[in-house]
Amino acid sequence: MNLEGTFDVRAPRSLVWEKLTDPALMAGCIPGCEEIEQLSATSYRAVVQVKVGPIKARFNLVTEVTREEPPDAVYSATRGEEGTRASVVSADSVVRLAETNPGETSVSYSSEVSVTGRLGKFGLGVMRKKAESLSLEFVENFKKRVEPESAGA
């Protein structure tokens, strides 16, 4: 399943890049992320819980940053499974940043995601809807942590 999207952040591209590559900040943005651990300069382990329909799943994920083009793009591969190996997920992703105006950055992402096992049995429509919902939640969380507070708020 291919997931793509674009969103704007009211912050300079250099700051968006800094935050995008900060594992601690990202852990707070990823819906259901319970913990994150840096394994090396380019790899991270995370525990993420998701709920799809009546099924709750806790994934042990490893993300490897396969290529960086600061401050324009970051490429990554994520692989993981439930502790019981009931579901397996893999994703190859790219995130691109473009300065649209001074102090504004457009973020686009594309991920080729595969889910097998008990969660993979849900129809593509259900899985796509859940993934899009998680993406929207991530965007809101990320923007709250990166954008300056609105004047007078």
Digit-coded pLDDT (tens) for 118-145: 888 877 788 889 999 999 999 999 999 9
Q: What pTM was computed for the model?
A: 0.90
Mind listing the domains of the chain with CATH numbers? 2-146 (3.30.530.20)
Q: Are 37 and 45 in contact (CB under 8 A)?
A: yes
Mean pLDDT computed over every residue of the chain: 92
Query: Residues of the chain with pLDDT > 70: what percent?
Result: 97
Measured CA to CA, the distance from residue 96 to residue 5 in angstroms comes to 11
Mean pLDDT of 144-149: 91
Mean pLDDT of 4-23: 96
Per DSSP, the residues of the chain read: -EEEEEEEESS-HHHHHHHHT-HHHHHHHSTTEEEEEE-SSSEEEEEEEEEETTEEEEEEEEEEEEEEETTTEEEEEEEEEETTSSEEEEEEEEEEEEEEETTEEEEEEEEEEEEEETGGGS-HHHHHHHHHHHHHHHHHHHHHHHSPPPTT-
- The residue-averaged pLDDT of 26-54 equals 94
| pLDDT in the model for residue 83 | 78
